[in-house]
């Protein structure tokens, strides 16, 4: 199922010179929970080897994208959870500028600090037709129901939403589905339905519609590995599915059908047609440019690669990341909390091998889908004679495979935050083939990149609210490089903020421990607490990335690094707590109470001089 990106080869050969000078068609591809080292091209750029430090990976299609385009190798996400990360991408703004720190449902209508998301601007100001398929992942209530909003005459985030889990499940185009059952006035257990290739339905766990032996049959047939805590065992575990085999073939999964639905839509010009899920749609206007978004969910749990890809990794033995008692002892309480829920150091050696093998196999399968989507999109654009651009994001955040003793996300490590971006374009002057940009870039850079490519003047004062930069300017070297990037991993562990330079990484708690987090109950309270708190109370971590790239030795209390820590802490606090910092008591309705802190306005100027450590 791995397909060559033949059209990318044509572009490298110079076929793009025949395209017109119109606004380009644009394709945005995002994967989910995908670590940077799952891509061989990125490993070659960083380590001069194809494989991950753990072992074998396969990514021929993304490798070809990198060959044909410009790789922004050191791109970092703003918040390592699906919903807050995707909100930052869609808005071009940091979490502390939107007030969206986690998985809260938010309705920002009528709120002074809010600005349109970039797909809205492309549609309303640049004349783009916008279409999406798959996981959008933002929890914006005012964009929750695309079809209902259209019937009410309301604008949606994307003109056309071709569907996600529910829509493809109802059409029988999926391998699994999950839902919460409403029973006796409350939400009951989540049920996952698996649809093997022969059409048989199995329910998990056993409920009223499950056959007596479904659970045992599912575990056996799908070779499931579920997360379990110390004291438990894999045979009875019902936690997140982190390994197993997909019940469908490569062309039977939901995500395969995301691609097919998008390509069918792109190839409909005018008139009405019926999409893959049975919905009647209006075809595209060939005179207007298209912005297409494909939100893949691989390799997010449940990690179930199809057998065709799984067998390619079956005999691999991976190097499992080491985890030491010393590192555990240096965890601050916030990280200890995550470790208590997601540690894997008690897994057997074979369970750890399966976890890693199946993860990379699922990434390899996803790579084939990325290739199909890119191929089809370029073919569509060249058939129109219109220029084009593809922006590929390797994960909305990363995923740990026993690094720091855990299998999870949501933390401040590079494994969680580092997600390279590749931009491939028919305009090779803006995004040269094979170019590697090693300057620090961020997820908030995507919005201004798409807007600028679509003809929107992002230098106009109307867009001063954007926190990001146009990738094209970074590639051209026409803008001063950033000295740092920031992130705010808040979900699960509670409010925490991170600043990273090329050489150092500093993270800290930004609310007192008694606080439950940035939730409606305490939004806007104690916003200056961290400024005057003792160092031990902010639970700091400091890593010297030159000496310790794996981030295993916490130097926050090492006297030699006191000057470094002071500079990083001061800068980070001023930015996330005092430079237009927003917190919202989200109520799920428009007009929620907003608190804005601006005691350090202008602190986020992308400049930071970090002193040398004290002599030993």
Region of poorest pLDDT, from 33-37, 155-159, 212-216, 369-373: 212-216
* pLDDT confidence tier of residue 518, bands split at 50, 70 and 90: low
Measure the CA–CA gap between 601 and 587, rounded to whole angstroms. 28
For the entire predicted model, the pTM comes to 0.94
pLDDT at residue 144 is higher than 80? no
The Cα–Cα gap between 23 and 456 comes to: 10
For 25, 135, 299, the CA distances from 365, given in Å and listed in that order, are: 26, 17, 9
Q: Please report which confidence band the pLDDT of residue 142 belongs to, taking 50, 70 and 90 as the band edges.
A: confident
pLDDT for 122: 97
Above 70 in pLDDT, residue 204? Answer: no
Calpha distance 91→79 (Å, rounded):
13
pLDDT at 6 over 50: no
Query: Which residues, 6+ apart, have CB-to-CB distance to 38 below 8 Å?
Result: 52, 57, 59, 299, 359, 360, 363, 394
H-only helix segments in 223-348: 254-266, 307-310, 325-329, 333-342
Average pLDDT over residues 439-459: 98
Q: Which long-range contacts (CB under 8 A, 24 or more apart) does 234-240 make?
A: 234/347, 234/348, 234/351, 238/205, 240/301, 240/302
Q: State both tokens at 167.
A: 């829509």
Residue labelled with tokens 């068609």: 25
For position 206, what pLDDT does the model report?
46
Read off the DSSP letter of residue 406.
B
pLDDT digits (tens, 9 = 90+) for 321-358: 999 999 999 999 999 989 999 999 999 999 999 999 99
Tell me the C-alpha distance between 225 and 198, whole Å: 23
3-state secondary structure at position 52: coil
Least confident of 19-23, 128-132, 272-276: 19-23
DSSP 81-101: SHHHHHHHHHHT--HHHHT--
Mean pLDDT of 137-160: 77
Asked which of 93-102, 138-147, 265-274, 530-539 is least confident by mean pLDDT, the reply is 138-147
Report which of residues 143 and 183 the model is more confident about. 143
pLDDT bin (cut points 50, 70, 90) of residue 16 is very low
| 219-233 average pLDDT score | 92
3-class secondary-structure state, position 369: helix
SS3 of 316-363: CCCCCCCCCHHHHHCCCHHHHHHHHHHECCCCCHHHHHHHHHHHHHHH
Average pLDDT, the chain: 91
Contact 569, 562 (CB under 8 A): no
DSSP string, 134-172: E-----BGGGS-HHHHHHTT---SSSEE---HHHHHHTT
pLDDT of residue 149: 62
């Amino acid at each position: 199922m791995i397909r060559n990106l033949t059209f990318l080869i044509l572009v490298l050969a110079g076929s793009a010179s025949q395209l017109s000078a119109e606004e380009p068609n644009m394709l945005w591809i995002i994967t989910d929970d995908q670590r940077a080292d799952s891509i061989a091209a990125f490993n070659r750029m960083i380590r001069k080897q194809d494989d991950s430090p753990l072992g074998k990976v396969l990514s021929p299609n993304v490798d070809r994208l990198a060959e044909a385009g410009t790789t922004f190798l050191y791109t970092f996400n703003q918040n390592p959870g699906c919903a807050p990360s995707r909100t930052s991408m869609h808005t071009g703004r940091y979490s502390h500028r939107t007030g969206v720190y986690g998985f809260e449902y938010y309705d920002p209508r009528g709120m002074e600090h809010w600005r349109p998301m970039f797909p809205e601007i492309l549609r309303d100001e640049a004349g783009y037709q916008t279409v999406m398929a798959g996981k959008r992942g933002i929890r914006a209530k005012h964009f929750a129901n695309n079809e209902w909003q259209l019937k009410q005459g309301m604008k949606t985030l994307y003109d056309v939403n071709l569907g996600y889990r529910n829509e493809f499940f109802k059409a029988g185009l999926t391998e699994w589905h999950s839902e919460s059952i409403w029973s006796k006035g409350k939400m009951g257990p989540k049920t996952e339905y698996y649809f093997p290739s022969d059409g048989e339905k199995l329910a998990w766990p056993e409920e009223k519609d499950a056959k007596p032996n479904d659970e045992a049959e599912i575990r056996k047939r799908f070779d499931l590995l579920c997360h379990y805590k110390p004291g438990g065992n894999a045979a009875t575990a019902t936690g997140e599915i982190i390994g197993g085999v997909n019940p469908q073939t490569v062309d039977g999964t939901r995500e395969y059908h995301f691609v097919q639905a998008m390509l069918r839509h792109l190839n409909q010009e005018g008139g009405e047609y019926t999409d893959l899920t049975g919905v009647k749609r209006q075809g595209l206007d060939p005179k207007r440019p298209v912005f297409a978004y494909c939100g893949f969910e691989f390799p997010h749990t449940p990690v179930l690669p199809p057998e065709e890809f799984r067998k390619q990794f079956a005999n691999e033995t991976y190097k499992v990341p080491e985890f030491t008692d010393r590192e555990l002892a240096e965890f601050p309480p916030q990280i200890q909390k995550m470790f208590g829920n997601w540690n894997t150091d008690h897994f057997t050696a074979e369970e750890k091998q399966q976890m890693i093998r199946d993860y990379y196999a699922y990434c390899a399968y996803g790579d084939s889908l990325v290739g199909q989507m890119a191929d089809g999109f370029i073919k569509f654009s060249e058939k129109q004679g219109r220029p084009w651009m593809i922006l590929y994001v390797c994960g909305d955040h990363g995923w740990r495979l026993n690094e720091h003793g855990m299998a999870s996300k949501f933390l401040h490590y590079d494994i969680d935050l580092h997600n390279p971006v590749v931009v491939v374009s028919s305009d090779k002057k803006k995004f040269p083939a094979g170019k590697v940009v090693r300057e620090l870039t961020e997820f908030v850079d995507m919005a201004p990149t798409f807007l600028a490519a679509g003809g929107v003047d992002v230098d106009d004062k109307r867009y001063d609210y954007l926190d990001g930069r146009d990738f094209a300017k970074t590639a051209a070297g026409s803008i001063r490089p950033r000295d740092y990037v920031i992130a705010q991993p808040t979900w699960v562990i509670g409010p925490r903020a991170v600043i990273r330079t090329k050489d150092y990484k500093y993270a800290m708690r930004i609310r007192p421990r008694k606080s439950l987090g940035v939730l409606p109950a305490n939004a806007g309270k104690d916003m200056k607490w961290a400024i005057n708190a003792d160092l031990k109370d902010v639970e700091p971590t400091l890593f010297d990335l030159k000496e310790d790239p794996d981030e295993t030795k916490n130097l926050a209390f090492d006297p030699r690094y006191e000057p470094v820590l002071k500079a990083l802490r001061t800068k980070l606090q001023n930015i996330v707590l005092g430079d237009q910092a927003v917190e919202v008591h989200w109520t799920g309705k428009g007009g929620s109470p907003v608190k804005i802190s601006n005691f350090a306005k202008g602190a986020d100027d992308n400049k930071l001089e970090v002193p040398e450590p004290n002599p030993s």
